[in-house]
Structure 1
Amino acid sequence: MKKYTKMYLAWAFVFIILPLILIFLYSFNGSGSIAFENFSFSLDNYSRFFSPLYLKMFAISILIAILTTVICLLLAYPIAYIISKKDEKTAQIFLFIFIMPMWINLLLRTYGWISLLGRNGMLNRFLAIFNLGPLNMMYTLTAVIVGMVYEFLPFMVIQIYNALKKVDSNLIEAALDLGANKKEIFKKVIFPLSLPGVYTGIIMVFIPAISTFVISNLLGGQKVYMIGNLIDQQFTFTGNWGFGSATAIILILILFIALGIQRKFGRELQGDII
Structure 2
Amino acid sequence: MSTPTSPSSIPNSTPSDDVNELLVTGKERRGFKWLEPLILLAPGGLWLALLLVVPALVIFELSLVPNIRPGDVVNPTGLANYTLIFQPIYLQVLGRSLFFALGTTIVTLLLGFPVAYWLGQMAPKQWRNLLVLGFVLPLWTSSLLRSYAWITILRPTGVLNSFLTSLHLPTVELLNQSTAVFIGMAYSYLPYMVLILYASVEKLDQRLLEASADLGANPIQTFWKVTVPQTMPGIAAGSLLVFINTLGDFVDPELLGGASSMTVSRLIYNQFLGATQNWGFGSSLSMILIFAVSVAIALLIKYGGDATPQR
- TM-score, normalised to structure 1, is 0.90
Residue equivalent to 2:108: 72
More displaced stretch, 138-147 vs 26-35: 26-35
Measure, in 2, the Cα distance between the counterparts of 1:44 and 1:187: 49
Measure, in 1, the Cα distance between the counterparts of 2:203 and 2:58: 42
1:120 lines up with 2:157 in the alignment: yes
1:12 lines up with 2:36 in the alignment: no
Measure, in 1, the Cα distance between the counterparts of 2:162 and 2:67: 52
**Alpha-carbon distance, 1:5 to partner:** 3.0
1:54 lines up with 2:90 in the alignment: yes
1:33/1:39 contact within 8 Å kept? no
Residue equivalent to 2:68: 32
**AA of the residue aligned to 2:154:** L
Deviation per residue, 1:148-169 (Å, 9 max, x gap): 1111111111111111112223
Q: Name stretches of at least 5 consecutive residues in structure 2 with no aligned partner.
A: 1-35
Residue equivalent to 1:136: 173
Greater per-residue helix proportion? 1
Residue equivalent to 2:205: 168
Measure, in 2, the Cα distance between the counterparts of 1:78 and 1:201: 14
Residue equivalent to 1:153: 190
1:31/1:39 contact within 8 Å kept? no
1:30/1:39 contact within 8 Å kept? no
Structure 1 residues 95, 12: CA separation in 2 closer, same or farther (over 3 Å shift)? same
**Alpha-carbon distance, 1:134 to partner:** 2.9
**AA of the residue aligned to 1:42:** G
Listed as ranges, the matches of 1:1-274 within 5 Å are 5-35=41-71, 37-85=73-121, 86-178=123-215, 180-237=217-274, 238-263=276-301, 265=303
Measure, in 1, the Cα distance between the counterparts of 2:303 and 2:41: 31
More displaced stretch, 252-261 vs 107-116: 252-261
**AA of the residue aligned to 1:241:** W
**Alpha-carbon distance, 1:34 to partner:** 3.5
Measure, in 2, the Cα distance between the counterparts of 1:59 and 1:146: 19
Structure 1 residues 234, 114: CA separation in 2 closer, same or farther (over 3 Å shift)? same
Measure, in 2, the Cα distance between the counterparts of 1:7 and 1:44: 38
Measure, in 2, the Cα distance between the counterparts of 1:219 and 1:233: 17
**AA of the residue aligned to 1:198:** I
Measure, in 2, the Cα distance between the counterparts of 1:27 and 1:99: 39
More displaced stretch, 97-106 vs 180-189: 180-189
Structure 1 residues 192, 29: CA separation in 2 closer, same or farther (over 3 Å shift)? same
More displaced stretch, 29-38 vs 236-245: 29-38
- TM-score, normalised to structure 2, is 0.80
Measure, in 2, the Cα distance between the counterparts of 1:223 and 1:180: 48
**AA of the residue aligned to 2:89:** L
**AA of the residue aligned to 1:146:** I
Measure, in 1, the Cα distance between the counterparts of 2:157 and 2:120: 39
Measure, in 2, the Cα distance between the counterparts of 1:37 and 1:74: 50
Larger Cα Rg: Structure 1 or Structure 2? 2
**Alpha-carbon distance, 1:135 to partner:** 2.0
Measure, in 1, the Cα distance between the counterparts of 2:58 and 2:139: 31
2:152/2:159 contact within 8 Å kept? yes
Instruction: Count how many residue pairs are aligned between Structure 1 and Structure 2.
Output: 272
Structure 1 residues 89, 6: CA separation in 2 closer, same or farther (over 3 Å shift)? farther
Deviation per residue, 1:127-154 (Å, 9 max, x gap): 1111223322111111111111111111
Q: Name stretches of at least 5 consecutive residues in structure 1 with no aligned partner.
A: none
Deviation per residue, 1:89-110 (Å, 9 max, x gap): 3222222122111111111110
Structure 1 residues 265, 7: CA separation in 2 closer, same or farther (over 3 Å shift)? closer
1:68/1:209 contact within 8 Å kept? yes
**Alpha-carbon distance, 1:41 to partner:** 2.3
Deviation per residue, 1:224-253 (Å, 9 max, x gap): 111111011111113222111100111121
2:104/2:246 contact within 8 Å kept? yes
